[in-house]
Amino acid sequence: PAFLASPNPAPLPTSRPAALSSRLPLACPRRGGAAVVQMRARAPSAPSSAPEMIEVSDPAHDAWKVGRVAELLRGGAVGVVPTDTSYAFVTSVKNKAGVERMYALKSTAGAKKPLSILCRDLAMVQRFTFGIDKGIFKMLKATLPGPYTFILPATTEVPRQMLEHKGHKKVWKRKEIGIRIPNDPYCAAILAELDEPLLCSSVPESEDSTVLACHAPDAGGSWCGRVEFVLDAGERRTKLSTVVNLTVRPFEVLRVGEGPVDIIEDE
């Protein structure tokens, strides 16, 4: 079926094109009627009024640009990357300051669902979760990468700061975590360069759902000046992942999204 993807996607080419294109799909804060977008680097601890915009349009030629994203994330940045369901705020799960900033962004954006982690592969999933028996492993292998969020018990590799945060405990009564392996070439290329998962939360859209809403009605609510970078892959409509709780038997589908549920079987 079309929604099934290979668990080991082919690596993307890393050749650098001769020139970069310029465009503006993001709705960033405006000054004097013009959108404010600055392509410049800065320290991760001190984001300015506009994030560093890293533009991509063709996975066959733009893969080299994810190196800059990985560099920023390793340095403690919080940023925005595309996934197979939406754009997402991300930071390393081991970045204590970044985790706090992510919860603050989640609150600003009005998001109610718990934060999840983006994993590179099933080996990384098994490192940060447990309780994966033969049947669960078979199902994960059949559905990932793909538009699913699976809830599993968290191992001690998941920072206590994240599991014990009031924003997490408000939703989960036990030490559980949602895991994703997105079927997106840019997201996969970023994760391939990192040794840790990325904590993630969906980015809000504009009113017409065609561009990222890089501003809020009041300036104090804007997230645009609170991230260090945006990996801009153009206009994408937000879709929902299918959320499945694997900590109970039979498995419980908490939300039906892009991922078909007929493949969710409890053997």
Chain centre distance of CA 167: 18
The CA dihedral of 191, 196, 179, 210, to the nearest 10 degrees, is: -40
Cβ neighbours of residue 132 under 8 Å, at least 6 residues apart? 125, 126, 140, 152
**3-class secondary structure, 100:** helix
In this predicted structure, what is the pLDDT of residue 192? 96
66: enclosing H helix or E strand: helix 66-74
Identify the DSSP state of 143: H
> For the whole model, what pTM was predicted?
0.77
Tell me the pLDDT band of 18, cut-offs 50, 70 and 90.
very low
What does the pLDDT look like over 208-259, one tens digit per residue? Answer: 555 555 543 333 446 778 899 999 998 877 889 999 999 999 999 999 999 9
What does the pLDDT look like over 113-158, one tens digit per residue? Answer: 678 999 999 999 999 999 999 999 999 999 999 999 999 999 999 9
Asked if residues 54 and 231 have their Cβ atoms less than 8 Å apart, the reply is yes
Query: What tokens does 137 get?
Result: 């492993």
In this predicted structure, what is the pLDDT of residue 267? 62
What does the pLDDT look like over 49-95, one tens digit per residue? Answer: 578 999 999 988 888 899 999 999 999 999 999 999 989 999 999 99
